[in-house]
Amino acid sequence: MNNEMSAIFSRIRIAQQKFNEARRELDEAVDMFLNYREEQPVQTMPILQSETDKFLTVQQVCDLLQISDSTFYEHLRLGLLPPGISVGPRSKRWRMSDIRAWQEKKQNGTTVNVIIPESVKRRGRPSKIRRKEEFYSV
């Protein structure tokens, strides 16, 4: 029984030595990793620094331009507004700088008048105003 106990204790001692050796190696590896991280510069995404680099939602663009959302989508459909940037499968944003540049072009008169082809025009029932004009012109 003594021989068995001494064999068990020697195995325990050997296991403890191996454990301590592995723990020292792990501590050294962690120290190397932490030192490496401190030496390397942290790479982060660039932060948008100016207001002109802000991304705007549809509602924010509408508020900025003082137009309704239906007018916004109509202008977008006709190609009068700059195209948005997809930020998700069903989400778009517009750069404030793009909207401001579009506003300046519009104010300077450098925008091109768009001739809307028949295929793009809205379909459906004519507006009441047009129907009244047709009625009174007879």
Which residue shows structure tokens 């705007």?
Answer: 56
Which of 109-113, 116-120, 129-133 shows the highest mean pLDDT?
109-113
For the beta sheet containing 91-95, the strands, ordered from the edge strand earlier in sequence to the opposite edge, are: 55-56, 91-95, 85-88
Whether 46 maps to a domain, the answer reads: no
> DSSP code of 120?
T
Domain total for the chain? 2
Closest listed residue to residue 71, CA positions, set 80, 90, 54: 80
Q: What mean pLDDT is reported for the chain?
A: 77
- Whether 66 and 103 map to the same domain: the answer is yes
Closest listed residue to residue 66, CA positions, set 92, 99, 91, 97: 99
Whether 99 maps to a domain, the answer reads: yes
Between 117 and 68, where is the model more confident?
Answer: 68
Helix or strand holding residue 92 (H, E): strand 91-95
Which residue segment(s) compose the domain that 15 sits in?
1-39
Whether 103 maps to a domain, the answer reads: yes
- Whether 55 and 104 map to the same domain: the answer is yes
Is 50 exceeded by the pLDDT of residue 117? yes
Is 60 exceeded by the pLDDT of residue 3? yes
| Least confidently predicted of 67-81, 103-117, 118-132 | 118-132
Q: What is the pLDDT of residues 73-97, one digit of tens each?
A: 888 888 888 888 888 888 889 988 8
Output the pLDDT for position 48: 52
Give the CATH number for residue 83.
1.10.1660
- Whether 87 and 58 map to the same domain: the answer is yes
pTM: 0.46
Whether 1 maps to a domain, the answer reads: yes
Tokens of 39: 């030496």
Is 60 exceeded by the pLDDT of residue 35? yes
